[in-house]
Structure 1
Amino acid sequence: MVKPYNLDNQQMFLKQLDKVEPGKEAIVDLSFETPIKLTYGQLEDLANRTAQGLIEKGIRPGEFVAYILPNWWEFIVATLAIWKIGATACPILPALRDHEVSFIMKKSKSRILIFPEAFRRFQYETMIDRLSGDLPYLESKVVIKSRDPYDIKNCLGGLAVNEPHLEDIDKRMPKSETNAQLLFTSGTTGEPKGVIQTHGSLSFAVEAHRKALGLTENDIIWVPSPLAHQTGFLYGMIAALNLGAKQVLQPKWDVKTARAAIEEHGATFVQAAMPFLADISRDPHPPKGLRIFVATGSAVPRQLAHDATAALECKVVGGWGSTETCLVSVNSPYSDDERIWGTDGKVIEGMEMKVTDEEGNEVPAGIEGMYRVKTPAMFKTYLDHHDWYEESIDENGFFMTGDLAVMDEDGYLKITGRVKDIVNRGGEKIPVAEIENLLYQHENIKDAAIVGMPDPRLGERICAYVTLNKKTDFSLEDITSYLDSKNVAKIYWPEHLELIDELPRTITGKVQKYILREMIADKLQIKS
């Protein structure tokens, strides 16, 4: 059973930052050849100064404060400053553009937007200027041009210029039930939802995470996942701050910088999506030094987990979480059970999960059903759509994840697909995740995704989208003969093959299958 959670942990978290040795290194920002480094003392001072700047901008407790920032030290300072004055953080992924940014700004009604002048050759200031006439709530644009944390006058767009009035800031300190975070779902279905988490729910999540994985203040947390996504935000930034540990921020993805994070700056822990794991483990010289890699976002194929464990010489484990619930299951890096590969782990202490039929009745071990979870790390509501929230929670308080899963007799979870991702071939439900996992083991296949394609007779047939390791002749027969060798029933074989250079993914690595379904549907219409 889930234990009641009433402790005001998040207030304690903000206060406990004062207790960390001020001279201890807090942040290593790998934006430049010479990293930007901040101690905990410097971080606290900059956060207080920025909090003062937000107060002077008229930001009130409870307001949403929007910011588009890469994995820079400024992201961490801005988040702490927002929280110190009782406001709600609304981070926006740097990969988003006009349409998405406009949508989030209007939904959040944020009166302020903090953003870089430019990042990765994209001019954010130009975009915001272009959008300004269509953002009715925006009053203050804070443009970051100076990246130097010692340039107090100009860093953080000038927000940190004044000395803080600590008594005024302390009066605004949030409580457990205060809104902490507004994150929009990353768009695997094409319809983003604004998820609101409280300080209490995030605090429970990060503390449960620490206990489950045995993390300590001596770990060094590597953050290649976007800080504007829950993986980077909570299990990178906040995990490190909660531990009083050092975090290494990687703003742009490349293996060379990843190697520096691990081998030069000592990173021991990372939680990130499968593509990050694949890239570093398949490099000719895989970086050594990590202790734990928790791969989330999609199931880690057993072969990749096996190969990565050997290449990186660290523990590779899977887990399941969502923006709405945070991490609910994870495999123990201290277990020798081979089920830490190829499963999504066991339930984290203090949380509940179950697999049910459509009516909510638990099904026996080994039987596929609907995956539901219950946790003190549960979100509060969907912004402007509490009806969506109510529809997602069953009568017993369990969140209906939309995933299909199987749980074995020992409690190991295995996500088998999405309720809306089933290929319904004439009434036969196709085990999509299982087929994808097998295809991933094919020597010529780099990446694979199975989707349903429209069929006038069966409703749907099975379409495989595949990317190859190298240019070669590759046909549907190569796939079917391979699956035949694996003794896969013929009814589960793909009936159409589409070769593609790269699968469409969200910024966090999830395959956007709705795009693939649209692509094959459009192609079939063109052919007809």
Structure 2
Amino acid sequence: MDFDAVLLPARRAACIAASTWPDRTINDELDACVADFPEKVALTAMRAEDGATRRFTYRELAALADRVAVGLARLGVGRNDVVAMQLPNWWQFTVLYLACTRIGAVVNPLMPIFRERELSFMLGHGEAKVLVVPKTFRGFDHEAMARALQPSLPALKRIVVIDSDGPDSFDALLAAPAWENEPDAADILTRSRPGPDDITLLMYTSGTTGEPKGAMHSANTVMANLVEYARKLRLGHDDVVLMASPMAHQTGAAYGMMLPILLRARSVILDKWEPAKAVELIRAEGATFTMASTPFLTDLTKTVQELALPVPTLRSFLCSGAPIPPPLVEQARKVLGTKIVSAWGMTEIGVITMIDLDDDDERAYSTDGKVIPGAEVRIVDEDGVELPRGSVGRLVVRTCSAFGGYLKRPQWNNVDAEGWLDSGDVAKMDERGYIRISGRNKDVIIRGGENIPVFEIESLLYRHPAIDQVAIVAYADERLGERCCAVVVPKPGQTFDFASMVAFLKVQKVTLQYIPERLIVRDAMPSTATGKIQKFKLRELLRDELL
């Protein structure tokens, strides 16, 4: 596979000169961990279903990565070959990632929720040579799906199955044989190691706006972000990072798997989000930090309160992917005693803005933070002209952590000649440099020529005691062009109707034209696995009147 990472070469000289690219790989970092802390526990992995837990020291983790790397080479995997993994947060995920980087292969994590339609596109587009799947997960037969897809994917040569006892099992092919003792093992493990600018990670966008795109990352682009991220959060080698967000998403892969290795810290992973299990892990392992979307924070706060099991070690919880309702920040601070940090980022660039640990709690729900070192943000109009502070416009970003481009789709990179990436988000910046995301460009609702402040109305509705989730989307209107529809998921045991919504917003002194003209109540929102509401799906359902 040839990776057309056109955005990397032009930036290298400037990023090296500015010392924003570490110019190291995860291999360098793992080797340093083994040298400095060989017997330190590097990874604790729990399966929620039965509580089964595995622990690995840095020495054990590196040795197993070497073994699996040679095993992959025996399957014909070489430099720039794509190894796709449709895995939950299991220890095999971490080992496979590290193994691939030993031999120059490119890892393509795929969300376990994907089915034939998404998988056939991603595996075909990425030309995956090997696919690793669970035999079953959450009652679904992943092996059967993978084998049914294989005949239509000419590049896919092998399927490896975890929890199988067959000849294609992960243990039989990769983890059980002592591949590292083979005469050619040392050569295999060294001859094709990637450099810091080589593509090692292919991640498909999570699909809040439609067709997925394959974002290409190198060690430099990912690690440049992790260094400043850790510094802002004051994370170090004594920290214990809990990751229950999917590692097949950038949140889990970068901040749950790679970051602890950079820190010489410890990673604790959970394969299914069960709040009680998360509380158990935090207390047992002394977790100090986690990162997840708003629903995770809601569940954790509620569970700690209900079980009366405090989590005093958990110092900070970085929340991104969706706005944090003000009452949730207040409740979480009271119940968890944890600093809630709001942030904004993208698969293509990592986390770019976040509040400071010393900021007032109000900043966590009123802003998405300010830009981290190594990055720049601007709010511009449709012509690219920078707008005054407080104005709403397009959010563009220039950062050392920007991806190498979209695989086979450079025309979609959306980066100008000066390196500014159009995020696709609408935002405003206050006088102190804090930004607030107002929505996607496609989320803007123009009713009779007037822009509706979608985020502000959603934030107000989140304060209603009966509402658990809310999204405001447009529907077509012949006279006004667009009108507003509020889609609401009530809290358990609560009801909500149109009259209640109008009355509540009138009490909040909302301009009448801004009040949604339609309400739809649902049991659940269409969302990604990381909790982002998929507004494009709501718009499609409204268009087809399927809500």
1:210 corresponds to? 230
2:42 corresponds to? 26
1:115 corresponds to? 133
Give the superposition deviation at 1:60: 1.5
Q: Secondary structure at the match of 2:527?
A: coil
1:40 corresponds to? 58
1:316 corresponds to? 340
Give the AA of the match of 1:377: S
Q: Secondary structure at the match of 2:544?
A: helix
1:159 aligns with 2:169: no
Give the AA of the match of 2:342: G
The one of 435, 439, 442 aligned to 2:461: 439
Deviations 1:440-460 (Å, cap 9, x if unpaired)?
110111110000011111111
Give the superposition deviation at 1:474: 2.7
1-structure distance, mates of 2:463, 2:72: 52
Give the AA of the match of 1:23: E
Contact 1:463–1:496 (CA<8 Å) still a contact in 2?
A: yes
Deviations 1:153-203 (Å, cap 9, x if unpaired)?
975452132332234312222111100110111111221111101111011
Alignment of 1:74-473 (within 5 A): 74-145=92-163, 155-160=170-175, 161-164=177-180, 165-283=185-303, 284-285=306-307, 287-289=310-312, 290-336=314-360, 338-389=362-413, 392-473=414-495
1:482 corresponds to? 504
The one of 65, 68, 85 aligned to 2:83: 65
Q: Secondary structure at the match of 1:168?
A: helix
Q: Secondary structure at the match of 1:523?
A: coil
1:150 corresponds to? none
2-structure distance, mates of 1:379, 1:299: 25
2-structure distance, mates of 1:236, 1:466: 31
Identity among equivalent pairs (%): 38
Give the superposition deviation at 1:346: 0.9
Give the superposition deviation at 1:256: 1.1
1-structure distance, mates of 2:206, 2:22: 30
Contact 2:199–2:219 (CA<8 Å) still a contact in 1?
A: yes
Give the superposition deviation at 1:140: 1.2
1-structure distance, mates of 2:246, 2:507: 40
2:11 corresponds to? none
Give the superposition deviation at 1:473: 4.7
Give the superposition deviation at 1:320: 0.5
Q: Secondary structure at the match of 2:179?
A: coil
Contact 1:52–1:162 (CA<8 Å) still a contact in 2?
A: no
Contact 1:95–1:507 (CA<8 Å) still a contact in 2?
A: yes
Q: 1:155 to 1:60 in 2, by over 3 A?
A: closer
Give the AA of the match of 2:311: K
Structure 1 gaps of 5+ residues are 148-152
Contact 1:280–1:287 (CA<8 Å) still a contact in 2?
A: no
2-structure distance, mates of 1:474, 1:403: 30
In the alignment of these two chains, the number of paired residues is 518
Give the superposition deviation at 1:78: 0.1
TM-score by length of 1: 0.95
Give the AA of the match of 1:48: D
Contact 2:216–2:405 (CA<8 Å) still a contact in 1?
A: yes
Q: Secondary structure at the match of 1:267?
A: coil
Give the superposition deviation at 1:43: 0.6
1:499 aligns with 2:521: yes
Deviations 1:397-451 (Å, cap 9, x if unpaired)?
1110011111111111111111111111111111111111110110111110000
Q: Secondary structure at the match of 2:340?
A: strand
Deviations 1:348-400 (Å, cap 9, x if unpaired)?
111111111112221111111110111111010101101111xx112321110
Contact 2:68–2:179 (CA<8 Å) still a contact in 1?
A: no
1-structure distance, mates of 2:378, 2:187: 47
Q: Secondary structure at the match of 1:380?
A: coil
2-structure distance, mates of 1:277, 1:22: 34
1-structure distance, mates of 2:24, 2:364: 30
Q: Secondary structure at the match of 1:304?
A: helix
Q: 1:241 to 1:132 in 2, by over 3 A?
A: same
Q: Secondary structure at the match of 1:382?
A: coil
Give the AA of the match of 1:426: G
Q: Secondary structure at the match of 1:384?
A: coil
Structure 1 window deviating more from structure 2 (32-41 vs 155-164): it is 155-164
2-structure distance, mates of 1:154, 1:102: 22
Give the superposition deviation at 1:338: 3.4
Contact 2:71–2:179 (CA<8 Å) still a contact in 1?
A: no
1-structure distance, mates of 2:277, 2:19: 42
Contact 2:445–2:473 (CA<8 Å) still a contact in 1?
A: yes
1-structure distance, mates of 2:104, 2:222: 15
Q: Secondary structure at the match of 1:381?
A: coil
Structure 2 gaps of 5+ residues are 1-13
Q: 1:503 to 1:157 in 2, by over 3 A?
A: farther
